[in-house]
Structure 1
Amino acid sequence: MPTTQTNLRELQAPIKARYQEQPDAARITLRVKSAASDLADPLHCAISPEAAPDIVWQSGAHPGVGGLGDVPCSGDLLLGALAACQEVTLRMVAAAMGIVIESLEVEAVGELDLRGTLGMDREAPVGFSSIRCESRVKVKDDGRPERAKRLLENAERYCVVLNTLRAGLPVESTFSLSDQ
């Protein structure tokens, strides 16, 4: 059943009330871990989000570094997280504002030089050099174009993945060998 403006606000009201009373309850930790996969296969892996352990996402090396191209690469998953976050944020903000979306398309595009990944050129960075995300939204005309503009501004403001990537926060990563 689609969530409407009314029941989205009803859904969020007790959540917001709880966070108002207990601000620490709003601080959450998301976790994604490796899932069972064939360790003899160097081109593929599987991961699973802790919040939905029955869901397994397959990923693999990009064809540009020797992958088969049969599953999304990790860069696709990163771009997918951005696109999904922008789309669901637009949908939720529109619902909260009582704006009807007639069409919505989000496209995330990332550019990188695979020579860095392949260790061919020390000057070539490893990772994306740029990411663009475009959201094209058509809303039902209610005679108040300023509301549509506010929808876009609020969606940009509240998109978690977009703002995380823009902030360039520190990422801690450890690699260790397990004892036999």
Structure 2
Amino acid sequence: MNTKDLKVAARYLANNLKLRKSKSEVYLRHQTLKKIYDEQPEKAMIVDAAVVEGKHLDDPFRSEVHLNPELNVPLKTGLHRAVGGDHDFANPGDILCAALATCFESTMRMIANRLE
């Protein structure tokens, strides 16, 4: 989607979509968070993290990263074939694209939840 398409889509959404009259789950959660953040703005600070432990150092093409220290989700990673890797696991570019796609999709889901 190019910039012009995004502007057209944004204009359409702004002019045609209406928030639902009943309170959605997203609305209710956001109201709760708004009260907290209004009183304690520092609580709105989010710090995401990932940790690489440096295991299997004899393999220059694969690694394992642990996402979210609270959940400690392991993710095997590899290198793209364009830089000599086997592309047998998600590479950093794949992970970045996944993060952006997830952010976009979850935002759309939350917006849709608030619409009629």
Residue 60 of structure 2 corresponds to residue 6 of structure 1: no
Name the Cα RMSD after superposition: 1.7
Match of 1:52 among 62, 71, 74: 71
Q: Which has the higher strand share?
A: 1
> SS where residue 15 of structure 1 aligns?
helix
Count of residues in correspondence between the two structures: 93
The change in CA–CA distance for 1:37 and 1:97 in structure 2 (over 3 A counts) is: farther
Residue segments in structure 1 that go unaligned for 5+ positions in a row: 99-180
How high is the TM-score relative to the length of structure 2?
A: 0.71
* Runs ≥4 residues deviating over 6 A: none
- Offset at residue 47 of structure 1 (A): 0.9
What is the one-letter code of the residue matched to 1:87?
Answer: E
For the Cα contact (< 8 Å) 1:8–1:96, is it kept in 2? yes
What is the one-letter code of the residue matched to 2:61?
Answer: L
Residue 59 of structure 2 corresponds to residue 41 of structure 1: yes
State the match for 2:104 in structure 1: 86
> SS where residue 56 of structure 1 aligns?
strand
Match of 1:19 among 22, 37, 54: 37
Q: How does 1:4-153 map to 2 (within 5 A)?
A: 6-35=24-53, 37-49=55-67, 50-53=69-72, 55-98=73-116
* Identity across the alignment (%): 30
Whole-Å separation in 2 of the counterparts to 1:73 and 1:67 = 9
State the match for 1:143 in structure 2: none
For the Cα contact (< 8 Å) 2:77–2:92, is it kept in 1? yes
Q: Which has the higher helix share?
A: 2
Residue segments in structure 2 that go unaligned for 5+ positions in a row: 1-22
